[in-house]
């Protein structure tokens, strides 16, 4: 018998609202494939990524350290062209580029900058591709082999460093990006989310056994790690000195 047999995996369900009764049990309103349902739960885990839907419903604020955003666009590579399977990054005047080969001989390209510094022209695919091709290291590897597909589009998502001001409360806690989100330059988001899941599972089990220190200890470990992460992030950005007068780099050098 599987240890995880009791877990029910519900796809297409979206948390809409939560309410806690006098006994601190939860009532959830969920949209499941277009149908509204009400569920009960003793303990809730917010694993909804940066949206942190549960924490938001509870009115918990987020601490933001920067305004980093990611503009992403996949391209097809010409059939006969392959590049080594690394994650490539390259600093430019107002941010940095990231590229990685993804299945189907495609290249995911991402431009990172601050939301308020974004040149709106970057949302134009031709302009975006042109700037990408001008990068000295990554662009040189692929610029003559990129194929723009008809359904290519640039998507924007937040990529800032941020965390909830409170990552646990009465019968709930947050994990992964919902709790602590990382700048992609650290490559730390997935490892931290997986590690956080492990600590969260143990903390919840202990909490349900009546150990009052379990959730504060969970929070303490993460806060300590996050302070260390912020120091490492600052050190990483300090390495780039070429555009110290540009606001993007200036902000990071002063952080
Ligand atoms: C551009 C970019 C590049 C990155 N590169 C790297 C990298 O190279 N290495 C690395 O380690 N990390 C990277 N990261 C970070 C990494 O993607 C995240 O840290 C990781 O995905 C966090 O996992 P998570 O499960 O906490 O959240 P997510 O992966 O965001 O998952 C959250 C889930 O919750 C669901 N959800 C949202 N709202 C609701 C709701 N109301 N009800 C129900 N479900 C909901 C979503 O659909 C989603 O499935 C990158 C991030 C960005 C933005």
Q: Where are the domains of the chain?
A: 1-42, 43-65+163-255, 68-158
Q: What stretches in the chain show pLDDT beneath 70?
A: 1-5
The CB of 49 under 6 Å from ligand 1? The reply is: yes
Domain at 43-65+163-255, CATH class: alpha beta
**pLDDT attached to residue 9:** 84
User: Rounded to whole angstroms, how far apart are CA atoms 63 and 215?
Assistant: 20
Which residues, other chains included, contact 127 with Cβ-Cβ below 8 Å and sequence gap of 6+? 121
State residue 3's pLDDT score. Answer: 57
pLDDT digits (tens, 9 = 90+) for 128-174: 999 999 999 999 888 888 887 778 899 999 999 999 999 999 999 99
Tens of pLDDT, residue by residue over 29-42, are 999 999 999 999 99
User: Would you say the CB of residue 196 lies under 6 angstroms from ligand 1?
Assistant: no
Phi, psi (5° rounding) for residue 164? -70, 145
Ligand 1 centroid – CA 41 distance (Å): 24
The CB of 230 under 6 Å from ligand 1? The reply is no
> Which class is domain 68-158?
alpha beta
pLDDT, one tens digit per residue, over 114-132 is: 999 999 999 999 999 999 9
In this structure, the residue with its CA closest to atom 18 of ligand 1 is: 189
Please report the pLDDT score of residue 1 as a whole number: 43
Substitution candidate for ligand 1 out of 102, 186, 190 with most atoms within 8 A of CB: 190
Rounded to an integer, what distance in angstroms lies between the CA atom of residue 193 and that of residue 157? 18
* pLDDT score, position 4: 60
């Amino acid at each position: 018998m599987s240890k995880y047999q009791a877990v029910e995996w519900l796809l297409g369900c979206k948390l809409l609202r939560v309410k806690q009764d006098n006994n601190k049990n939860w009532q959830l309103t969920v949209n499941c494939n277009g149908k509204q349902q009400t569920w009960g739960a003793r303990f809730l885990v917010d694993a909804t990524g940066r949206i942190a839907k549960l924490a938001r419903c509870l009115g918990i604020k987020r601490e933001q350290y920067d305004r980093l955003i990611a503009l992403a666009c996949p391209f097809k590579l010409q059939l006969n062209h392959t590049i080594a399977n690394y994650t490539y990054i390259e600093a430019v005047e107002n941010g940095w580029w990231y590229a990685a080969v993804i299945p189907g001989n495609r290249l995911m390209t991402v431009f990172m900058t601050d939301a308020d510094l974004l040149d709106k022209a970057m949302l134009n695919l031709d302009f975006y591709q042109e700037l990408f091709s001008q990068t000295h290291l990554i662009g040189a590897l692929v610029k003559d082999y990129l194929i723009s597909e008809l359904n290519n589009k640039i998507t924007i998502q937040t990529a800032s460093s941020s965390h909830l001001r409170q990552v646990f409360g009465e019968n709930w806690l947050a994990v992964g990006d919902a709790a602590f989100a990382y700048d992609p330059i650290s490559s730390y988001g997935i490892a931290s989310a997986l590690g956080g899941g492990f600590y969260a599972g143990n903390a919840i089990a202990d909490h349900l056994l009546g150990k009052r220190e379990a959730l504060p200890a969970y929070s303490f470990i993460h806060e300590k790690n996050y302070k260390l992460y912020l120091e490492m992030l600052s050190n990483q950005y300090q390495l780039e000195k070429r555009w110290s007068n540009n606001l993007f780099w200036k902000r990071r050098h002063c952080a």
